[in-house]
Amino acid sequence: MSTTQSERLRELLEPLVSSQGLDLEEIEVDSVGRKRVLRVVVDSDEGADLDAIADVSRALSAKLDETDAMGQGEYTLEVGTPGAERELKEHRHYVRATDRLVKFQLKDGDELVARIITVDDEGTDVEVPGVKGRKPTAKRLVFSDIAKARVQVEFSRKDKKDMKEEEEEA
């Protein structure tokens, strides 16, 4: 049975990442000129702060140094988080994106930008923002109908406390 280098690396590194309280989200090996770059993306329900990233990076580096998983050539190890506009691929990604604005590409070709309200095993309940003074509308999306979903960056979103204060003032 032949496995790819990424699969072998995942088998080697995933238990180590899990032992640090993180999820191994992605592994990518790229060639940049003569050097190779191993990119490892980690996350958790609480997020991964710089200290956690540094700790897991040291642990991964030590594990890779004691094995020949990356071969004999030079490589650079980069460890980070998925970033602000992460793609939602796993159930846990949707759960972590609760209350975030997400752009959904549906399998029927439609696109929808909506806020995730709740997530269960079959899908997610979302709130589609109102346009031009209209009220937001609720919608149910089943996972099997979603082709792709990506978190959107919001620069001017008011948090729940600000919205409640505005409602009380009105």
Q: For residue range 3-15, what is the model confidence (pLDDT) as tens digits? A: 688 888 999 999 9
Predicted confidence band of residue 103 (pLDDT cuts 50, 70, 90): very high
pLDDT-above-90 percentage for the chain: 58
Each domain of the chain, given as residue ranges in start order, spans 5-80, 91-169
CATH fold of 91-169, please?
SH3 type barrels. (2.30.30)
What one-letter code names the amino acid at 25? E
pLDDT on residue 160: 53
Higher pLDDT, 132 or 2: 132
Instruction: Give the Cβ contact number of residue 24 at 10 Å.
Output: 20
**Predicted TM-score (pTM) of this structure:** 0.70
Both tokens assigned to 106: 């549906």
Both tokens assigned to 60: 């991964």
Q: Are 87 and 104 in contact (CB under 8 A)?
A: no
Using CB atoms within 10 A of its CB, is residue 4 exposed (0-12), middle (13-18) or buried (19+)?
exposed
Q: How many whole angstroms separate alpha carbon 9 and alpha carbon 5?
A: 6
Beta bridge partners of 140: 125
Find, among 20, 38, 29, 36, the residue nearest to 78 by Cα. Answer: 38
Superfamily of domain 5-80: RimP-like superfamily, N-terminal (3.30.300.70)
- Ranked by mean pLDDT, the top range of 46-50, 51-55, 151-155 is 51-55
